[in-house]
Amino acid sequence: MKVVQAKKTKNGRWEYLSENKSLKNPLVLVFGGRFELENKEVIDNVRKEFPYKNLVFGSTSGEIIGEHVLDTSIVVTAIEFEKSLYVVKTANIFDFNKNAKNLGESLIKELPKEHLKHVFVLSEGSFVNGSALIEGIESSFYDKISLTGGMCGDGARFEKTLASYKDNPKEGEVIIIGFYGDALEISFASFGGWRPFGPERIITKSEGNILFEIDDLPALDLYSKYLGDKASELPQASLLFPLNVTPKGKSKPVVRTILSINKENNSMILAGDVPEGSKVQLMMASVDAIADGAYEAAKLAMEKRVNKPQLALLVSCIGRKLVMDQRAEEEIEEVINVIGKQTSLTGFYSYGEMAPFYGETACELHNQTMTLTLISE
């Protein structure tokens, strides 16, 4: 595997983290701020600097490259596989009447199944139901295929996200990348570091990822009561106080971030499903706990690896970044301390992270976690 990485500096120049060498048919991951990806001159400059055909774009709530966490920048990672193959497919949620499950079912059918080892997802993040998308993609999976990924971001604005494959970035896109070949070793893990607080309640009315009532009370009213003065800052304030949701019949909780609110019916739209009958609690975290969570995620991802990873794809939540503020790079440093400085790191801060629980194969949508996908061949 050969990897070339660069970031576009504020003065418009490209700064390379590795030797700038010519690659053969690389997969090129381009992560950047939403306003940067909307700028045609910026995109044209990316294409000129990286004159390859397989460019995948995704907007972020912060860019990760090497040991750095950046804002409103462009970071590029070009990967040439020497023994393995990849296939990229894309679809737009608007073509499926915003039905994420149907989109996922349709998209996964386009990937050849022979020798398919792993699927990485880069999804629109503003309104796609990540849980439903995962369910659709995994509808034709078998045990030997794993799934990880993330949902694009837009800072803490929650206005719109952008993504694309080959085309210029646009709204509504969902991209899947299939990795093929026996030479590939891919491991992954996800960990949070947040802790629940306050009384445990029951979700009494919901529909998909829309939460209407908790303990038969309007969800938004109850949540706002807990936030106090910060309620006026919703939905951004919810990034600091996500929900810990344990679906009925399951032992492991998932964390859910609020994407938007509807004051007319006192409901909240979350990044993934919040089934009726689920137990729910508020959560909070400290900077140290979040950094420790990143360390734990890296340890889990490395636990059973045979070879050192050559590439690490990091998807961390915007809520973690807001809590850590100027110390955000500390969680990246914790990852590097575990996986080693020789590994090329890239990724982004997201509106949702995708990975199985440790020791399981079925993928889950997470919020407020550090999720790693480690690749070598």
Q: pTM here? A: 0.91
Q: Which two tokens stand for residue 320?
A: 């973690």
Three-class secondary structure assignment of the chain: CEEEEEEECCCCCEEECCCCCCCCCCEEEEEECHHHHCCHHHHHHHHHHCCCCCEEEEECCCEEECCEEECCCEEEEEEECCCCEEEEEEEEHHHHCCCHHHHHHHHHHCCCCCCEEEEEEEECCCCCCHHHHHHHHHHHCCCCCEEEEEECCECECCCCCCEEECCCCECCEEEEEEEECCCCEEEEEEECCCEEEEEEEEEEEEECCEEEEECCEEHHHHHHHHHHHHHHHCCHHHHHCCEEEECCCCCCCEEECEEEEECCCCEEEECCCCCCCCEEEEEECCHHHHHHHHHHHHHHHHCCCCCCCCEEEEEEEHHHHHHHHHHCHHHHHHHHHHHCCCCEEEEEEECEEEEECCCCCCEEEECCCEEEEEEEC
Given a contact cutoff of 8 angstroms between Cβ atoms, the answer to whether 368 and 319 are in contact is yes
What string of pLDDT tens digits covers the 377 residues of the chain?
999 999 997 778 999 998 899 999 999 999 999 999 999 999 999 999 999 999 999 999 999 999 999 998 999 999 999 999 999 999 999 999 999 999 999 999 999 999 999 999 999 998 899 999 999 999 988 778 999 999 999 998 889 999 999 999 999 999 999 999 999 999 999 999 999 988 999 999 999 999 999 999 999 998 988 888 888 888 778 888 899 999 998 888 999 988 888 989 999 998 889 999 999 999 988 899 999 999 999 999 999 999 999 999 999 999 999 999 999 999 999 999 999 999 999 999 999 999 999 989 899 999 899 999 999 99
> Quick one: pLDDT at residue 141?
86
Kindly state the tokens that stand for 61: 């709530």
Contact 231, 270 (CB under 8 A): no
- Residue 111's nearest CA partner among 140, 134, 70 is 140
The amino acid sitting at 340 is G
- Give dist(CA 5, CA 346) in Å, integer: 9
The residues that bridge with 119 in the sheet, in sequence order, are 147, 178
Sign, CA torsion 95/98/102/108: positive
Six token digits for residue 8: 């576009």
Tell how strand 352-356 and strand 146-151 pair up.
antiparallel
Count other Cβ atoms within 10 Å, centred on residue 248.
Answer: 11
Output the pLDDT for position 332. Answer: 98
In whole angstroms, how far apart are CA 297 and each of 50, 121, 139, 307, 324?
Answer: 32, 19, 27, 17, 17
